[in-house]
Amino acid sequence: MNSIALASQPVPISDAPLLALLIRNRVCAGFPSPAEDLGARRIDLTQMLVTHAQATYFLRASGHSMVEAGIFDNDILVVDRAIKPRNNHIVVAIVDGDFTVKQLYQRQGRIKLKAANPTFPDIVPKEGQTIEIWGVVTSSIKQFPV
């Protein structure tokens, strides 16, 4: 099961802005493009990534069950608890007391938590099993070794 590492009880992010410098030019991920003068402006990462500050949490993903959705081991997930989960949302769920991240599948009143890796099974609630959708993943932040 792909899990979410929680050091302690999660706390919402603060309202303080996370500022960074955004270079106006795009960087080509294919063939290089001619260099241009680099213009820049400050952006607020909180404004870009967070809609509901008091209901938004950062959680670290652990595992490989969501790689086809672009979520990898050690990514930081931005999770908004104020968003009503819908079909196909990536969600953080609590299954029998354990956190997991999966894609929510809802059809005809039934739900299933789908892995985004064919080597991992989907989670289909069994009779008496407790599943709570804890929040909706809105972003994934990757950190590369430097």
C-alpha span between 19 and 115 (Å, rounded): 34
The first and second tokens of residue 113, run together, are: 């938590």
Q: pTM, whole model, 2 decimals?
A: 0.75
Element (DSSP H or E) covering residue 4: strand 3-5
Tell whether domain 52-141 is in CATH 2.10.109.10: yes
Contact of 65 with 1, CB cutoff 8 Å:
yes
Catalytic residue, candidates 3, 14, 33, 65:
65
pLDDT at 21: 44
Q: What pLDDT, on the 0 to 100 scale, is given for residue 92? A: 95
Name the percent of the chain lying above pLDDT 90: 45
Domain spans of the chain, in order of start:
52-141
CB neighbour list of residue 130: distance below 8 Å, 6 or more residues apart: 94, 95, 96, 97
Active site residue 102: yes
Active-site pick, 33, 102, 114, 140: 102
Return d(Cα 56, Cα 50) in angstroms, integer.
7
What is the Cα–Cα distance from 17 to 44, expressed in whole angstroms? 6
* pLDDT (0 to 100) of residue 128: 84
pLDDT single digits (tens) 108-120: 888 999 999 999 9
Q: What is the pLDDT of residue 4?
A: 55
126 is catalytic: no
In 89-98, which positions are buried (b, 16+ CB within 10 angstroms) versus exposed (e)?
A: bbbbbebeee
Residues of the chain with pLDDT under 50: 5-8, 19-24
Chain-wide mean pLDDT for the chain? 81
